[in-house]
């Protein structure tokens, strides 16, 4: 049995995976999805990683999944636990020494124009579910924005990039380019928007277990 460490994105919470966790468990695996301490002004990337490690406890067979901004934390955890798998799920792929706040300009990210928050992140998600997700959102005041990403290189663990074909925030063309430039790999694709754990949890679970 593999334990999946699910790491949420900016302003999010473990609730963002509440549809994916039971899908993984139904397939015979375990999953943890803790809330990162993003509301703590003294918390940075180390505190984020320690939160995930505490939730994992003594689990030894671990796969780490970083969604969106969670991509900055996921490889830190993967290195510490010698993960069998690291997955960037519509995720930000960091470079050594790069603060999260500089990732946007360094990658040439261009924000979508003329779209509401629902249209940007939740296209295809039922409105009631999208609004519930927004209600679970939290203000991110933690200090990692200007912290250099601490690893000297990407961890030496099997790594996949899984993008969402309908993502209007991190578009497929953008994610393909960044994955090639930073990891030298081509992403896999799945249907869904940026908040794909809400829209396609069963499909994600199948992909993750297939990666094992």
pLDDT (0 to 100) of residue 141: 98
Q: Which domain holds residue 186?
A: 3-211
pLDDT (0 to 100) of residue 99: 98
Domain count, the chain: 1
Ramachandran region, residue 128 (left: φ > 0; alpha: ψ -120 to 50; beta: rest)? alpha
pLDDT in tens, 25-47: 999 999 999 999 999 999 999 99
Q: Counting every residue, how long is the chain?
A: 212
Q: What would the two tokens of residue 183 be?
A: 């990891």
161-176: average pLDDT: 98
Per-residue confidence at 18, pLDDT binned at 50, 70, 90?
Answer: very high
pLDDT (0 to 100) of residue 129: 94
Nearest to 164 by CA among 172, 156, 152: 172
The CATH number of residue 113's host domain is 3.40.50.1820
pLDDT in tens, 44-69: 999 999 999 999 999 999 999 999 99
Per-residue confidence at 94, pLDDT binned at 50, 70, 90?
Answer: very high
Per-residue confidence at 76, pLDDT binned at 50, 70, 90?
Answer: very high
Q: Where are the beta strands (DSSP E) in the chain?
A: 3-7, 30-32, 62-67, 85-89, 159-164, 188-190
């Amino acid at each position: 049995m593999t334990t999946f460490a699910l790491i949420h994105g900016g302003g999010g919470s473990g609730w963002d995976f509440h549809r994916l966790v039971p899908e993984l468990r139904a397939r015979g695996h375990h999953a943890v999805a803790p809330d990162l301490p993003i509301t703590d002004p003294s918390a940075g990337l180390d505190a984020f990683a320690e939160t995930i490690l505490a939730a994992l406890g003594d689990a030894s067979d671990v796969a780490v999944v970083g969604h969106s901004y969670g991509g900055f934390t996921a490889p830190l955890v993967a290195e510490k636990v010698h993960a069998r798998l690291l997955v960037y799920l519509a995720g930000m792929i960091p470079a050594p020494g790069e603060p999260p706040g500089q990732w946007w300009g360094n990658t040439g990210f261009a924000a979508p124009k003329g779209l509401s928050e629902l249209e940007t992140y939740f296209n295809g998600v039922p409105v009631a579910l999208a609004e519930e997700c927004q209600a679970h959102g939290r203000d991110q005041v933690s200090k990692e924005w200007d912290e250099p990403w601490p690893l000297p290189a990407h961890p030496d663990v099997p790594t996949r990039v899984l993008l969402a074909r309908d993502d209007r925030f991190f578009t497929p063309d953008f994610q393909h380019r960044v994955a090639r430039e930073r990891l030298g790999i081509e992403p896999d694709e799945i249907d869904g928007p940026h908040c794909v754990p809400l829209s396609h949890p069963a499909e994600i679970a199948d992909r993750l277990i297939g990666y094992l």
